[in-house]
């Protein structure tokens, strides 16, 4: 391959897992799929849109996958029970012209009975650098790879779990989540970070509105939605909520959070201090 057309970067966006923004020049909808395998088989689809100025030559593949406690996705070996063994995709290779889109349909056709519980697969949409180089030689480009997760369920779905721990420091809060159910779960809720001397006696989270016109009261430093990171069944995951680019100044703080993790509700208040650095008065 010509040096100028080398595959210089692989923009990987697992939007269905971590809910991050997609590559600016490509859009995928939906960004994940979650459905039951009980009953008659159905055909599902994703739509990939080309928002760039050049054609995109795309190859579609499917893999089994898992995730560690820090949210790192790893490709796992295919087994008879893994969903990737039974995903049928059409088409698996195509070209999308600028401003147009391509629908990719898929169906789950297991040849063996799947055990009760959640079965997963990751469908990867990868831009083919070789095809792009042949179409427009000597062009320096960045290519993409997008993973869309499929969560398919056999039998009853139980989204149970616990907020095991909530740690804080000057930069962030770290939620330790344990999934005790049989399906992937996420947090849904909101948080409010207060200076201790301004912390209200009750409704600390409800007092922090999420609409853009809201003017926060003095002492309410941060507020917003909780991270919606996926936690696989039987797994423990650490989910980080950043307090922003700048660290909190030395002082006394209160973090109030409320929401749900799967079908389990939680409400926590954490008081913490940010100490002054040794060279500060």
- What pLDDT was estimated at residue 135? 60
pLDDT band at residue 11 using 50, 70 and 90 as cut-offs: very low
- What pLDDT was estimated at residue 213? 67
pTM of the model: 0.81
Domains of the chain (ranges, CATH numbers): 3-154 (2.60.40.10), 161-274 (2.60.40.10)
On the question of pLDDT at 8 being above 80, the answer is no
* Residue pLDDT, tens place only, 149-195: 999 999 999 999 999 999 999 999 999 999 999 999 999 999 999 99
* Residue pLDDT, tens place only, 47-78: 999 998 889 999 999 999 999 988 899 999 99
CA within 13 Å, CB half, 229: 22
Q: What are phi and psi of 8, to 5 degrees?
A: -80, -20
Contact 30, 46 (CB under 8 A): yes
On the question of pLDDT at 2 being above 80, the answer is no
Query: Rounded to whole angstroms, how far apart are CA atoms 39 and 41?
Result: 6
Mean pLDDT of 113-141: 80
Residue in 111, 65, 62 with CA at minimum distance from that of residue 89: 62
Three-state SS string over 27-85 comes to: EEECCEEEEECCCCCCEEEEEEEECCCCCEEEEEEEEEEEECCCCCEEEECCCCCCHHH
């Amino acid at each position: 391959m010509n040096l100028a057309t080398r595959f210089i970067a692989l923009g990987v966006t697992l939007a269905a897992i971590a809910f991050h923004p997609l590559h600016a020049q490509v859009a995928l909808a939906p960004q994940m799929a979650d459905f039951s395998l009980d009953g008659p088989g159905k055909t599902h689809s994703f739509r990939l849109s080309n928002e760039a100025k050049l054609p995109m030559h795309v190859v579609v593949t499917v893999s089994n996958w898992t995730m560690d406690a820090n949210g790192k996705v790893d490709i796992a070996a295919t087994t008879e029970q893994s969903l990737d063994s039974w995903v049928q995709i059409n088409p698996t290779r195509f070209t999308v012209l600028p401003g147009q889109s391509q629908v990719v349909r898929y169906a789950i056709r297991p040849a063996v009975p799947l055990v009760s519980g959640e079965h997963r697969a990751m469908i990867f949409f990868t831009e083919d650098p070789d095809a792009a180089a042949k179409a427009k030689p000597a062009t320096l480009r960045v290519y993409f790879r997008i993973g869309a997760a499929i969560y398919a369920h056999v039998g009853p779905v139980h989204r149970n779990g616990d907020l095991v721990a909530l740690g804080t420091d000057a930069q962030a809060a770290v939620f330790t989540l344990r999934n005790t159910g049989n399906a992937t779960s996420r947090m849904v809720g909101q948080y409010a970070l207060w200076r201790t001397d301004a912390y209200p006696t009750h409704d600390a989270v409800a007092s922090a509105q999420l609409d853009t016109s809201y003017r926060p009261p003095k002492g309410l430093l941060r507020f917003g939605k909780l991270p919606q990171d996926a936690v696989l069944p039987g797994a423990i995951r650490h989910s980080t909520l950043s307090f922003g680019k700048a660290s909190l100044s030395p002082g006394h703080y209160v973090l109030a959070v409320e929401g749900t993790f799967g079908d389990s509700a939680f409400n926590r208040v954490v008081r913490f201090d940010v100490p002054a650095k040794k060279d500060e008065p």
